[in-house]
Amino acid sequence: MQIKEMTAEQLQHLIRSTVDEMLDEYFGDPDGGREMKESFKQSLLEIRRKRQEGRPTIPLSEVYKRYGIES
């Protein structure tokens, strides 16, 4: 498919993908090759499990309020 045949959404996706790939190539993954602590991994898995169970999340406005961030 040529660019002139793409929809705006397809072109936007292509550009984003290309930029992401180039940034990954240029900067790389600073944590690449490092092991994740088991306790941290378990913490992330627990957060994911709770979200999948439908546990309510904290609204963004509440996070801003807690940390004194102006929106």
Distance (Å, whole) CA 23 – CA 27: 6
Domain residues of the chain, as ranges?
1-31, 35-71
- Name the residue with tokens 């790389």: 28
How confident is the model over 12-68, as pLDDT tens digits?
A: 999 999 999 999 889 988 888 899 999 999 999 999 999 899 988 888 999 999 999
The pTM for the full model equals: 0.41
Distance (Å, whole) CA 69 – CA 24: 30
On the question of pLDDT at 4 being above 80, the answer is yes
Distance (Å, whole) CA 54 – CA 27: 36
Distance (Å, whole) CA 51 – CA 62: 18
